[in-house]
């Protein structure tokens, strides 16, 4: 596998990749980038999760002429969500390309704003076919300078009935443009488009070789409702593991996840391609010797690791292809032992899961997250085992004396005393999962989904700017899920409805929609309840996600309350502002909002 720096990508693109922490190109990237940089047409069989977005975005960005603010690349996607996601990816990879503009255009979005931005000049357009056609007909979108067209998820476009639109658009592009067509499958109409519009294309198929990995038990967890780290720690609590390799996609994540696991009491270490060979070897030796139990690794760093005590492989981030999967899970089940592979699959990575199953010719079974009761049970068992071990291995005469003295001096029974000692011994790591901790989501059921929808409120609320408390929800196991209220910077005046918000959060944060609680829409913002403990990276990502072109700019309402308190109330103990002070504060808050109101609509359509 070549490195990114061997792929002739431009300097700003390489520096962005380094900053993001991508360690090496995924197979589809390694195969596609040279052809696309060369100006060749390309036909790629690949699905979401393989890294196909970067496979076309990186070469496009490497060739962009930043001084020419005309559309030089057009990416067609079947859905609005994908258009937004791809445009966001372009922005991320163009982080070091000053003056770069990408514009997502899709139906249902205010056309005025799109026209304005098109007039101002953009380098890359990412759009759904209908709206792109619309702009071409209005002549608000001109493709004279177009160099590359990408058809993303071709089979989905076919399924959604966009094929005629796609061919119409292709007919309206300059003859000399380059075309890249990506599709998870190649049904005949997609083949036909390739035959008609692609010029001697390079064909790339990302399909793993069929391999069987019989001695390894394989399960997957559908990422939903609870953050991956909480899910992971819950799994680790009940799994009987010896050594674990946990795979993530970026160098940055290896360190982040290892640190978080350490903070939660596991002995974990990161291993990635930035580390010297010597340090990597030392870390692997620590795993071998039992000084650490969990190694958080990228594919590159974990290559060739052969440690017999690895009982579990956790695919925290799904691998790009079947081969990588087989390679990863082959780190366990070594030296004649059995092993277990756990795979985290986000909703939109389902296809990759199916592809892995197909290629390995093995079904991967869905697992449920351990329940609180299972965790409590496991903790009790471990506690009992440590009592047995202490009885067998420690000299206890001195403690026998204390116990006997205590029993003669007090009226307590031996059981009372033992229970009190047990309580004291577990205080730093309680045996019972505390109430009020966020409850992980198990697989969702249809009925639960419906009841969750029923919880949502979509009434047009009067804007009081008063933070409200989040409402707990009950999941299908009957357990309470702690929720937190968040404020999003989109509201009625941006034309959003609760469905848009649910869609954006479910897709972008991987939160099962059943775990998205109450949504209250106001004029220019909304409040939504989400399970507590959202990971920082998801939170940061959601800040930038756009709904109707407006960044969500998510913030915790509790943060707002805190800052309000800090400013307004000098006494930490003051529970509520006095009615008068409250009214004053409200009036103060209201004034600038009213002033801002007319321009808020304008802001919503500005990039
Ligand atoms: P895609 O298949 O384009 O939807 O990409 C799936 C995920 O893989 C995205 O979250 C990307 O950020 C991530 N990704 C893409 N390429 C790489 C890479 N070379 N190294 C690490 N992560 C990547």
pLDDT at 600: 32
249 or 429, higher pLDDT: 249
Cβ of 17 less than 6 Å from ligand 1? no
Kindly report the pTM of this predicted structure. 0.56
Looking at the fold, whether 78 and 175 belong to one and the same domain comes out as: yes
Looking at the fold, whether 307 and 391 belong to one and the same domain comes out as: no
Cβ of 25 less than 6 Å from ligand 1? yes
Average pLDDT, the chain: 82
Looking at the fold, whether 185 and 286 belong to one and the same domain comes out as: no
Domain-ending residue, one of 174, 205, 236: 205
585 three-class SS: helix
**CA–CA–CA angle 219, 224, 229 (5° rounding):** 75
Please give the number of the atom of ligand 1 that sits closest to the Cα of 50: 2
| C-alpha 503 – ligand 1 centre gap (Å) | 21
Cβ of 54 less than 6 Å from ligand 1? yes
Dist CA 364 CA 349 (whole Å): 14
Q: Average pLDDT, stretch 112-133?
A: 94
Q: What is the domain extent for residue 26?
A: 4-205
Segment 70-104, tens digit of pLDDT: 999 999 999 888 899 899 999 999 999 999 999 99
Task: List the residue whose alpha carbon is closest to atom 11 of ligand 1.
Answer: 51
**CA–CA–CA angle 160, 163, 168 (5° rounding):** 135
Domain-ending residue, one of 180, 205, 230: 205
Cβ of 364 less than 6 Å from ligand 1? no
pLDDT band at 467 (very low <50, low <70, confident <90, very high): low
Segment 269-288, tens digit of pLDDT: 999 988 888 898 899 999 99
Task: List the residue whose alpha carbon is closest to atom 14 of ligand 1.
Answer: 51
Dist CA 199 CA 203 (whole Å): 11
| C-alpha 4 – ligand 1 centre gap (Å) | 13
pLDDT band at 563 (very low <50, low <70, confident <90, very high): very low
Q: Which range is least confidently modeled, 274-278, 372-376, 533-537, 557-561? A: 557-561
Please give the number of the atom of ligand 1 that sits closest to the Cα of 25: 19
Which residue out of 81, 249, 320, 344 has the highest number of ligand 1 atoms within 8 Å of its CB and is therefore the one to mutate? 249
**DSSP class per residue in 525-564:** -EEEEEES---HHHHHHHHH-EETTEE---EEHHHHHHHH
Cβ of 538 less than 6 Å from ligand 1? no
Please give the number of the atom of ligand 1 that sits closest to the Cα of 4: 19
Task: List the residue whose alpha carbon is closest to atom 19 of ligand 1.
Answer: 25
| C-alpha 465 – ligand 1 centre gap (Å) | 39
Looking at the fold, whether 284 and 398 belong to one and the same domain comes out as: no
The first and second tokens of residue 232, run together, are 């992971």
Cβ of 249 less than 6 Å from ligand 1? yes
Q: 59-68, 442-451, 477-486, 563-572 — which one is most confidently predicted on average?
A: 59-68
Kind of pairing, strands 148-151 and 339-345?
unpaired
Cβ of 49 less than 6 Å from ligand 1? yes
Task: List the residue whose alpha carbon is closest to atom 12 of ligand 1.
Answer: 51
For the chain, give the number of residues. 607
| C-alpha 179 – ligand 1 centre gap (Å) | 21
The first and second tokens of residue 114, run together, are 């799109």
In a domain, 575, yes or no: no
Count of other CB atoms within 10 angstroms of residue 144: 8
Which residue out of 53, 299, 350 has the highest number of ligand 1 atoms within 8 Å of its CB and is therefore the one to mutate? 53
Looking at the fold, whether 268 and 318 belong to one and the same domain comes out as: yes
Q: Which residues make Cβ contacts (< 8 Å) with residue 435, sequence separation at least 6?
A: none
Residue with tokens 């195969």: 31
| C-alpha 186 – ligand 1 centre gap (Å) | 22
CB-based burial label for 277 (10 Å; 0-12, 13-18, 19+): exposed
Dist CA 243 CA 196 (whole Å): 53
Looking at the fold, whether 266 and 197 belong to one and the same domain comes out as: no
Looking at the fold, whether 133 and 74 belong to one and the same domain comes out as: yes
CA torsion 133-135-139-145 (nearest 10°) is -80
Cβ of 51 less than 6 Å from ligand 1? yes
In a domain, 156, yes or no: yes
Number of domains in the chain: 4
Looking at the fold, whether 327 and 391 belong to one and the same domain comes out as: no
Dist CA 586 CA 594 (whole Å): 12
Looking at the fold, whether 365 and 392 belong to one and the same domain comes out as: no
Dist CA 76 CA 442 (whole Å): 35
- Supply the CATH number for residue 170's domain: 3.40.50.300
Task: List the residue whose alpha carbon is closest to atom 1 of ligand 1.
Answer: 51
Which residue out of 7, 54, 298 has the highest number of ligand 1 atoms within 8 Å of its CB and is therefore the one to mutate? 54
Looking at the fold, whether 394 and 464 belong to one and the same domain comes out as: no
In a domain, 76, yes or no: yes
Cβ of 22 less than 6 Å from ligand 1? yes
Pick from 270, 313, 275, 278: which is nearest to 295 by CA? 270
Looking at the fold, whether 400 and 330 belong to one and the same domain comes out as: no
Cβ of 331 less than 6 Å from ligand 1? no
pLDDT at 602: 32
Segment 196-231, tens digit of pLDDT: 999 999 999 876 444 556 678 999 999 987 889 989
| C-alpha 214 – ligand 1 centre gap (Å) | 29
């Amino acid at each position: 596998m070549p490195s990114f720096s061997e792929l002739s990508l431009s300097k700003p693109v390489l520096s962005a990749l380094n900053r993001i922490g991508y360690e090496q190109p995924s197979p589809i990237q390694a195969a596609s980038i040279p052809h696309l940089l060369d100006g060749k047409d390309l036909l790629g069989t690949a699905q979401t999760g393989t890294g196909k977005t970067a496979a076309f975005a990186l070469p496009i960005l490497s060739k962009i002429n930043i001084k020419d603010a005309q559309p030089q690349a057009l990416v067609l996607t079947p859905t609005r969500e994908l258009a937004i996601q791809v445009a966001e990816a372009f922005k991320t990879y163009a982080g070091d390309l000053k003056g770069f503009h990408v514009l997502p255009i899709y139906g249902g979005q205010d056309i005025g704003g799109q026209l304005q931005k098109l007039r101002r000049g953009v380098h890359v357009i990412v759009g759904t076919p209908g709206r792109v056609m619309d702009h071409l007909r209005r002549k608000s979108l001109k493709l004279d300078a177009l160099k590359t067209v990408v058809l993303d998820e071709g089979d989905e476009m076919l399924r959604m009935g966009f094929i005629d639109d796609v061919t119409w658009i292709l007919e309206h592009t300059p003859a000399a443009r380059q075309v890249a067509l990506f599709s998870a499958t190649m049904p005949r109409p997609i083949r036909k488009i390739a035959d008609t519009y692609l010029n001697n294309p390079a064909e790339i198929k990302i399909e793993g070789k069929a391999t069987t990995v019989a001695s390894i038990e394989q399960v997957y967890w559908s990422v939903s409702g609870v953050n991956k780290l909480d899910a992971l720690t819950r799994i680790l609590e009940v799994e009987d593991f010896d050594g674990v390799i946990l795979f993530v996609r970026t160098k940055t994540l290896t360190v982040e996840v290892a640190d978080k696991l350490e903070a939660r009491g596991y002995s974990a270490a990161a291993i990635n391609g930035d580390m010297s060979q010597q340090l990597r070897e030392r870390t692997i030796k620590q795993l071998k010797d039992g000084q650490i139990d969990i190694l958080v690794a990228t594919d590159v760093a974990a290559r060739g690791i052969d440690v017999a005590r690895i009982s579990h492989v956790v695919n925290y981030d799904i691998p790009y292809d079947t081969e990588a999967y087989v390679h990863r899970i082959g780190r366990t089940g070594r030296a004649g032992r059995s092993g277990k592979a756990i795979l985290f699959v986000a909703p939109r990575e389902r296809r990759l899961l199916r592809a892995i199953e197909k290629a390995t010719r093995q079904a991967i079974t869905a697992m449920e997250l351990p329940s609180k009761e299972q965790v409590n049970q496991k903790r009790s068992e471990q506690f009992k085992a440590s009592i047995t071990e202490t009885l067998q291995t420690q000299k206890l005469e001195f403690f026998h004396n204390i116990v006997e003295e205590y029993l003669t001096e007090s009226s307590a029974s031996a059981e009372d005393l033992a229970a009190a000692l047990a309580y004291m011994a577990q205080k730093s790591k309680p045996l019972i999962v505390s109430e009020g901790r966020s409850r992980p989501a198990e697989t969702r059921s249809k009925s639960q989904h419906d009841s969750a929808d029923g919880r949502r409120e979509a009434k047009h609320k009067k804007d009081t700017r008063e933070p409200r408390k989040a409402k707990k929800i009950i999941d299908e196991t009957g357990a309470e899920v702690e929720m937190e209220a968040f404020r999003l910077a989109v509201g009625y005046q941006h034309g959003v409805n609760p469905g848009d918000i649910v869609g954006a959060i479910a897709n972008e944060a991987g939160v099962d929609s059943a775990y998205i609680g109450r949504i209250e829409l106001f004029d220019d913002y909304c409040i939504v309840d989400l399970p507590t403990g959202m990971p920082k990276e998801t939170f940061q990502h959601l800040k930038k996600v756009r709904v109707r072109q407006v960044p969500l700019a998510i913030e915790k309402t509790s943060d707002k309350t805190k800052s309000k308190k800090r400013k307004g109330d000098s006494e930490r103990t003051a529970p509520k502002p006095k009615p008068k002070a409250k009214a004053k504060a409200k009036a103060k808050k209201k004034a600038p909002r009213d002033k801002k109101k007319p321009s808020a609509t304008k802001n919503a359509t500005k990039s």
